[in-house]
Every structure is written in C-alpha cells, then in structure tokens.
Chain A
Amino acid sequence: MPFAGFNMPINYKTGIINEHKNVRNHSGIFDVSHMGQILIENNETYLHKLEKYIPLQLKKLIKNRSHYSFLLNKDGGVIDDLIISNIDIKNKPYLYIVYNASRKKEDEEIFISCAPNAEKIYIKNCLFAIQGPDSINVLKNVIDIPENMNFFDILISKYNNNEIIISRSGYTGEDGFELSIPNESAENLITHVLKNENTMLCGLGSRDSLRLEAGLSLYGHELNEKITPIEAGLSWALDKERLEDENLNGNKVLSDQLKNKLSNKKIGLISTSKSMLRDGMTLFDNNNNEIGKITSGCFSPNLNKSIAIAYVTSEFNTDNPLFCKIRKKLELVKINNLPFVKKNYRKNGSVYE
C-alpha cells in the first residue's frame, strides 16, 4: 500500500496477527528505511537554533544516549515527534535524528534552516528495527553488541567493514534494536539475520498493532500541529527548564498548560464486543453527548479484542459508561489505562517498564 510516498507492505506471508505474536514472543524485523535520518554537526550555533523547536537542553544530551522529543510550532503544537541522539562518528560529534517519513518536508526545512550542512543519511543508509525479547540473541551472532547496552543507548559498530549505527530502541514496547546500515550492506545483513528461525519480516500492520498495545503515539493520529505534547499526555518528554526559555516555540502555552486544566485527555479503550474500534469513530456519554473521538484503533492479538486510543473532553468522568458509534450502533466500550501490555525494555540486564 502507498505510505508517505513509499510502497510498503502491510504484512508479509503469514499475516499481521502472526507477525505481531512473533515479535511479542520471539523477534521480528521491520524495514523502516522510509523514515528520515539526518546527521547534524554538534556545535553551539546549531544547537541554539534547534532549541527553538526541540524542547530539550541539547548541550546536556549525554553521549551515546537517545531521547524521545518533538519539533514544536509557535503554538507548542507538534510538527513531528522524533528520536534525537548524541553520537560521535569518525571522532566528530553529531546529533543523529530519526523522524517520520510523512513529515520529511516540514522537518527538513527546519533542520536545514538551523544547520545548512545537515546530512540526510537516509539517502545512503537503510534503517531496520529488530524487535522482540529474542532480538539480542538473533543479532549477537551477526554484529557486536555490548552486553551492558541499555534501552535508548546508541553506539557505532561494524558490519562487513561498514560503520553502522545501533541503538537499543524501537516502537513496539519490546526490547529491540534499530540499525542504520549503508544500502550496499543492507541486503546481506537482513539475509544473515533471517537465517535465525526465531525471527521474520514484519510489515506496517503489526508495527501499528504493536505500538498501539504499547500505548505509543503515532504522528497523524495522536499527534499533529494542533496538539501539544502536554495535551497528548507526553509532558514527561519535555525538559521543564526549557519551558521557561523564550527561545523555545510555544513555551508560554506549554507552561500554562502544565499549570492549568486541559480541555481533553487521552484514554485507552477496549471493545466489549467483537466489533473493531477504528480511527475517527465518535464517542458518547450516557446522555448521548458527543465527548470525543478515537485516534487509533486495531485488533489486539494479545488481548484478543479490539483496542483504541482516544481523546475525550476532560470533564468526562472515566467511571461513567462510554459508548462508541460503530457503524449505526452505539456500543459500550471499556476504559483501560495505557499501555495495554507491559513494556519490556532492558536496563542493566533486567526488564523495566
């Protein structure tokens, strides 16, 4: 199917549910080469310019660590969500940023305006996400991965004499790795990794159901230019000191929102029937008042029911019954805390959420 200008598989041979379960129980490989990857020289001028859009203290980013963050517009709305890392390549310090394919145009306009020599490395590098509890075992026979690598650590390794960027990260709620590898070695690496029977190629369908079960936001669904990270329930990702900084886009809006009540809140939903909850469906309270909308919905293979993420008005008391309009009928839906499944990230060799 067409996706952000790419022709992408929804699933491979065995189907979405099987791919999903294989990632939760073993491991799966996603080709996410459509995503944006850019290298920006880590110098003070560039950092200061980028800090207008990115709500982090970029000078204080720890070397070999990644951070989840955003590009913000003047109203504090989300231009894009991204992963930004501080990493040395060939002894030179860089910021390595991975961002959404659907937002390349908007994001790159900003990156290039801040750092004219920023290098779009997705042109020469593929990006693969190997996800699931067995990912470390699947990968360690193929590339060198330090035993003590934690979730959101990032480093440079080698494959076929090519430098590759490895981060312990992903967007499935599972342990896993993302590899940025030069195009000419990409096929070799994937063929090599696929020799392990515990892993398989996975498409966009399972990528979506895995991130939704993990309660993770997706740009264009939970996030857009009219929603701030605080409204999206992602205030943990903002550096609070930066909200006092006039140089940050929307800093006043954001600090006000932190102090005051929001108009909407993000909730998780589980279907009480076998019907599927889907993006765009409308939600109603007991008195038939429209109180919100679903932003993402899918079938959850782990719960064997349909699940969804929705925004509802803050006044709605989540102890009250909530109904979703599915085709012509109103169906009762259950409110569930996000995430729907426990996260399975690694720190100091053990699992943490």
Chain B
Amino acid sequence: MGAYMSEKKYTKDHEWVSIVNEIATIGISNHAQESLGDIVFIELPSVGNSVKAKDEICVVESVKAASDIYAPIDGEIIEVNNNLENDAAIINQDAENEGWIFKMKISDSNQYSELMSEDEYKQFLEQ
C-alpha cells in the first residue's frame, strides 16, 4: 500500500484524527481549545500502551477545568508530542497542527471511517 494522507476526521469528544500510512495523529479540535481556555498542563499518555476506542488515555488541564482525552480508535500509542510537556499552550496556538498530542498505530480502519468529516463536525457543533 502506498503512502496516503487521509482527510482529517473528528470525534464527538472534540478530538481530531488524521491518518498517514496507518499511523493516526490525534489532538483536540480548535473548538475544544477555545472552550477550555488557557491550557496549562497536559499529562501525556505512555508510549507502548495498547488502547481501545473511548479509553481515557490522558488529561488536558486548562485554567478552567481538567478534560479527559479519549482514544478515538483501537490501537497502540507509538509517539507523544514532548514539546507539550514544557509548553502546553502550543495547543491554544495551533490545536490542529503543532498542537498534536499523540500518534497511534491503528488496528481497525473501519473505526476511522465512522468518525465525522470536517463538515459533519461543524454541523455537530451547531446542534
């Protein structure tokens, strides 16, 4: 299978997922970042952990509240964004690029196709 970059998808928990070569990159949506306000700390997940969709795997703390981050699909955590350790505010500045949180090797690509497209997520936010 050749390299491909998928469209970005979103979960109902306000996370985004994009996939390159069966590796998913995950972060929180710009909308989530805006509602949380100033993010001061993130407890990153452990690399090597196998997780199931909907598992709580790490926590983002903002000045307003602590917010759980869930695995959007089944898989293994293979990398975390260590830059966030020193400066979690990167998520506020660029939630959907530089503010990525972790990468997963995914085991079931069907779960991915069930997530919302950008347009569907926009509609979901308006509800």
**Interface residue ranges, A against B (CB under 8 Å):** 10-11, 15-18, 205, 209, 274-276, 278, 298-299, 306, 327
A-B contact pairs, 19 of them (CB 8 A): A10-B64, A15-B63, A15-B92, A16-B37, A16-B38, A16-B64, A17-B40, A17-B63, A205-B64, A274-B40, A274-B61, A276-B41, A276-B66, A298-B63, A299-B40, A299-B61, A299-B63, A306-B40, A327-B59
CB pair A274–B41 under 8 Å, yes or no, is yes
Query: From residue B108, how far is it (CB to closest CB) to chain A in Å?
Result: 28
Bound CA span A209–B40, Å: 14
CB pair A15–B37 under 8 Å, yes or no, is yes
Whether B43 sits at the interface, judged by CB under 8 Å, is yes
Query: From residue A196, how far is it (CB to closest CB) to chain B in Å?
Result: 24
Q: Which residues of B contact A327 (CB under 8 A)?
A: 59, 66
CB pair A11–B59 under 8 Å, yes or no, is no
Q: Which residue of B lies closest to A276 (CB)?
A: B61
Bound CA span A278–B67, Å: 13
Q: Which residue of A lies closest to B42 (CB)?
A: A274
CB pair B37–A11 under 8 Å, yes or no, is yes
Q: Other than the known A205-B63, A274-B40, what 17 A-B pairs have Cβ atoms closer than 8 Å?
A: A10-B37, A11-B37, A15-B37, A15-B63, A15-B92, A16-B38, A16-B64, A17-B38, A17-B63, A205-B64, A274-B88, A275-B43, A275-B61, A299-B38, A299-B61, A299-B63, A306-B40
Query: From residue A67, how far is it (CB to closest CB) to chain B in Å?
Result: 32
Q: Which residue of B lies closest to A1 (CB)?
A: B64
Query: From residue B43, how far is it (CB to closest CB) to chain A in Å?
Result: 7
Bound CA span A209–B88, Å: 19
Q: Which residues of B contact A306 (CB under 8 A)?
A: 40
Interface string of B35-48 (1 = CB under 8 A from A): 00110110100000
Q: Which residue of B lies closest to A11 (CB)?
A: B37
Bound CA span A10–B66, Å: 16
Bound CA span A306–B43, Å: 15
Query: From residue B103, how far is it (CB to closest CB) to chain A in Å?
Result: 22
Which single member of A15, A274, A275, A278 contacts B38 (CB below 8 Å)?
A15
Bound CA span A15–B59, Å: 20
Interface string of B15-48 (1 = CB under 8 A from A): 0000000000000000000000110110100000
Bound CA span A274–B40, Å: 8
Q: Which 10 A-B pairs have the closest CB atoms?
A: A274-B41, A16-B63, A17-B38, A276-B61, A299-B40, A299-B63, A15-B38, A16-B38, A15-B37, A16-B37
Q: Which residues of B contact A18 (CB under 8 A)?
A: 38
Q: Which residues of A contact B61 (CB under 8 A)?
A: 274-276, 299
Within 8 A of A (CB), among B54-104: 59, 61, 63-64, 66, 88, 92
Which of B38, B59, B66, B88 has the most chain A CB within a 10 Å cutoff? B38
CB pair B66–A278 under 8 Å, yes or no, is yes
Bound CA span A83–B88, Å: 39
Q: Which residues of A contact B43 (CB under 8 A)?
A: 275
Bound CA span A274–B41, Å: 6
Q: Which residues of B contact A15 (CB under 8 A)?
A: 37-38, 63, 92
